[in-house]
Amino acid sequence: MANKTIYRLMLNGFGAVGQGFAQILRDQGERIAQREGVELQIVAVATRSRGCVYNPAGIAPAALLDAIQTGSLRDLEGARDCDPAELIASVEADVLVEASPTNLQTAEPATSYIRAALERGWHVVTANKGPTALRYTELKALADQKGVFFGIEGTVMSGTPSIRLALEALAGCEISELRGIVNGTTNYMLTQMEQGRTYDDVLAEAQRLGYAETDPTGDVEGHDAAGKALILANVLLNAGLTLDAVECSGITKITPEAVTEAAAAGERWKLIARVWREGEQVRAQVAATRLPVSHPLAGVAGVTNALCITTDLLGDVTLIGAGAGSVATGFALVSDILALHRLS
């Protein structure tokens, strides 16, 4: 295809997600360029401790991935030691690809990075739950004011297009409720407990497999799912809720006996993030819930995620797919850039 549009990208954060994004560009960049008419050119990368790099001529994704294997970006052409905020303020780019760590209490420093990029007239795509859950309305308004795109697909269900499905494909419908399995770690644990195993045993296994962190609190107490419930409420139902409005409990009190009892009644335990309209209000909750095995969410096993969207014109629409992973989440960022390209 002639006349490809070039997007100059700054990656903020080059961990699992940033590297998954770079792998997609390394392995599929040419196909994407041919099919979509866009060239995605990384010109800058910021990390917290592994150095930063800026090369206006473009940085090959393969070179970045090779460099990070050595533990640092400091040997690349254009390497510099600076703060991510300094890089955002000083380089020339079109899109900030934000993949730095999530903070669900303050949404910082990512919100400041995103704000600075939007102020510069850059598009922003992010997988970061903090700014999306806590600051979406403000950041979207700033993006609109600047005439740029703010993409958040990767914040819920990674690259599985939950946000885009609800906002675009279901645009003519009224959504009254969303119920989702949005945390793969806890769904894996509950699925394993159905084999008669104890909570401690399956948690240790989830940690061994890398599904659960050494400190698993964010997953098992439901906080990660609560952040995603807040995003669904605020982005899709325009609720304006804060995190403390999400009633939140996790799976720590689920015993093997409770799992057996549910099975005997033809039900399964699932950690469900639920947002729904109640009169003029929107409510949000995360709770372990018994679902009949016939329910579409009951059949979702292992680390897979799912979202059931209740609409007026279609009834229930259920989406099932990946909820995490470096390439799956990197793809969400690619899909947001392609979405912004289609809008331009």
- The piece of 34-42, 123-131, 257-265, 297-305 that touches ligand NAP (CB under 6 A) is 123-131
- The piece of 144-152, 263-271, 284-292, 321-329 that touches ligand NAP (CB under 6 A) is 321-329
Instruction: Note whether 128 binds ligand NAP by CB under 6 A.
Output: yes
Choose, by CB under 6 A, the member of 56, 71, 101, 240 that binds ligand NAP.
Answer: 101
Which residue's CB atom is positioned nearest to ligand NAP?
15
Instruction: Note whether 154 binds ligand NAP by CB under 6 A.
Output: yes
Instruction: Note whether 186 binds ligand NAP by CB under 6 A.
Output: no
Instruction: Note whether 184 binds ligand NAP by CB under 6 A.
Output: no
Instruction: Note whether 211 binds ligand NAP by CB under 6 A.
Output: no
- CB closer to ligand NAP, 19 vs 191: 19
Cβ at position 173, least distance to ligand NAP in Å: 26
Instruction: Note whether 13 binds ligand NAP by CB under 6 A.
Output: yes
Count interface residues toward ligand NAP (CB under 6 A). Answer: 26
Q: Which residues pair with 5 in a beta bridge?
A: 38
Instruction: Note whether 329 binds ligand NAP by CB under 6 A.
Output: yes
Cβ at position 213, least distance to ligand NAP in Å: 10
Instruction: Note whether 228 binds ligand NAP by CB under 6 A.
Output: no
**Helix/strand/coil (H/E/C) assignment for every residue in the chain:** CCCCEEEEEEEECCCHHHHHHHHHHHHHHHHHHHHHCEEEEEEEEECCCCCEEECCCCCCHHHHHHHHHCCCCCCCCCEECCCHHHHHHHCCCCEEEECCCCCCCCCCCHHHHHHHHHHCCCEEEECCHHHHHHHHHHHHHHHHHHCCCEECHHHCCCCCCHHHHHHHHCCCCCEEEEEEECCHHHHHHHHHHCCCCCHHHHHHHHHHCCCCCCCCHHHHCCHHHHHHHHHHHHHHCCCCCCHHHEEECCCCCCCHHHHHHHHHCCEEEEEEEEEEEECCEEEEEEEEEEEECCCCCCCCCCCCEEEEEEECCCEEEEEEECCCCHHHHHHHHHHHHHHHHHHC
- The piece of 10-18, 139-147, 189-197, 278-286 that touches ligand NAP (CB under 6 A) is 10-18
> 182: closest CA among 246, 240, 245?
246
* Contacts of ligand NAP in 60-99 (CB under 6 A): 84, 99
Give the active site residue among 4, 228, 253, 270.
228
Instruction: Note whether 14 binds ligand NAP by CB under 6 A.
Output: yes
Instruction: Note whether 162 binds ligand NAP by CB under 6 A.
Output: no
Cβ at position 219, least distance to ligand NAP in Å: 12
> 333: closest CA among 152, 208, 174?
152
Active site residue 4: no
Residues near ligand NAP (CB under 6 A) are 12-18, 46-50, 84, 99-102, 109, 127-129, 154, 158, 324-325, 329
Active-site positions read: 228
